[in-house]
Amino acid sequence: MLKLFVDSWLKLTSIVVLGGVLAGCQIDSEPKSELESIRERGVLRVGTLNNQLSYYIGPDGPTGLDYELALRFAQELGVDLEMKPAFRQSSLFPALQKGEIDMIAAGLSQLPQRLDKFRAGPAYYYVSQQIVYKKGQWRPRNMEQLVNNQQKLKQEEKPSDTLAIVQDSHFEQTLETWSQTYPELSYQIDPDADVNDLLKLVSLGELPFTMADSVELSLSQRIYPDLALAFEVTEDQPISWYIRQSDDESLYALLIEFFGGLKQSDELVNLEEKYLGHIGVFDYVDTRAFIRALDGKLPKWSSLFQQYSNEFDWRLIAALAYQESHWNPTAKSPTGVRGMMMLTLPTAKSVGVTNRLDPEQSVRGGVEYLRRIVARVPDSISQHEKIWFALASYNVGYGHMMDARRLTKKQGGNPDAWADVKERLPLLRQKKYYSQTRYGFARGDEAQNYVENIRRYYQSIIGHVDKQLAAQEALDNNTDDLTVIPPLEEEAETLLEQDEVEKAIETVE
């Protein structure tokens, strides 16, 4: 009996142990959620486009609207961020499909063919698709006129493929839809170009028409001022990030929560103001003159701006100098300001400038004066926006800038947000409002335009200086060429010594 009991007990124990082992194996074999996989890896891999809106390497390291948003999202996940920039959209979705990246953050619109295969996050801004032409050339006002012109050219036995678009772009689907209404519509699909390539061809007169998003056109006009809107092809469309389609809701749920929090806290508004707030107004004549100055004058003075810019981006100082004097070192005004940075006599004395018409002294003194103003700007204002408040002070005076902040707060706005304060600056001209301020009347509208002009010049200089480098580093459509530019830290310095910069992976805390 005892033996039978022992045998039974051993069998039962074996079953329990085996069941536990099997249960443990089952638990271990359960697939991890996307969030768990990313957190276990410790890195969020984000595919993006290498351009001046989504992601690029600035003088202080990586920057761009999608980069900053992705960095905040990685911080929310508690992991590092790995940006994998490409120059063409066609590289991104295959990489996402293969699992080489976790998401795409590249300012891409929500399209049916994308939504069939991938999942879009919340919209964070909107763009329309537009037909672009060169100013001074024939302009179609709608699709019917464009198609009729193509038919006319065909009858005259002239080239009728006057419209070219980028391959694998959302423009393809749009034109396919239009072709149902206008079967005669003719267009080329360029497999090797990106949107900027085609916009450049239009500006040179080598291509009659192309398509671009409204934001892309506005940014490109700062570099190619001859570009102009012919007509809008679509209504405003939402721009979103993309992740893989899956039954796993973990990453998508956090994405919804993340953008909801950004909108509630106004952080999204502030980031959009930083990257998009300067593109609303385009002055063709001024931009043409500025582009000519980029080629004719900037090379002469760029080394001076670089030498004395100190903690500022030299391109920002160059933009400020252009706004002040159009890079004329002997500029004078009836109000008594002089030189490259147009300093008043008291200001010049305060920063040690003895000859305002000496360009070296003027730039050095102007930068020092700007540095002092930035140091006075309240710390409640975010670091990246302090410069806009300082530039407004440079133009209209520090006291008037603070008046505009107080007026903003009184009206329920955010006195620490440039987007809110710049809208109140023009009110300083109106007695109804300046009578409530400490420093009274001011040409606040001029200060508003002053800062926004500098922001536009700044972006144009960035685009002008970087466009040749970007062309040389252009990638083909192979997803294996997704690369990351490393920050200049210890790891990157080692890679530089090894001459392997292009193969480095940038990890940002």
By annotation, the residues acting in catalysis are 324
Q: Is-contact 149 176, C-beta < 8 A?
A: no
What's the CA gap between 204 and 298, in Å, rounded? 22
Residue bearing tokens 């500098």? 454
Strand partners of residue 256? none
- Say if residue 382 is exposed, middle or buried (CB neighbours under 10 Å; 0-12, 13-18, 19+): middle
Burial annotation 387-401 (CB, 10 A radius, 16+ → b, else e): bbbbbbbbbbebebb
Q: Which ranges constitute the DSSP H helices of 249-382?
A: 250-264, 267-276, 284-296, 298-308, 314-325, 345-350, 359-376
CA-to-CA dists, residue 309 to 18, 29, 302, 325, 374, angstroms? 72, 58, 10, 17, 14
Q: Which residue has 């953050």 as its token pair?
A: 105
Compute the CA torsion angle 22, 26, 27, 32 (nearest 10 deg). Answer: 160
Which 3 state secondary structure label does DSSP give 329? coil
Pairing of strands 163-166, 188-190: parallel
Find the helix or strand (DSSP H, E) in which 212 lies. Answer: strand 209-213
| Full 3-state SS string of 459-497 | HHHHHHHHHHHHHHCCCCCCHHHCCCCCCCCHHHHHHHH
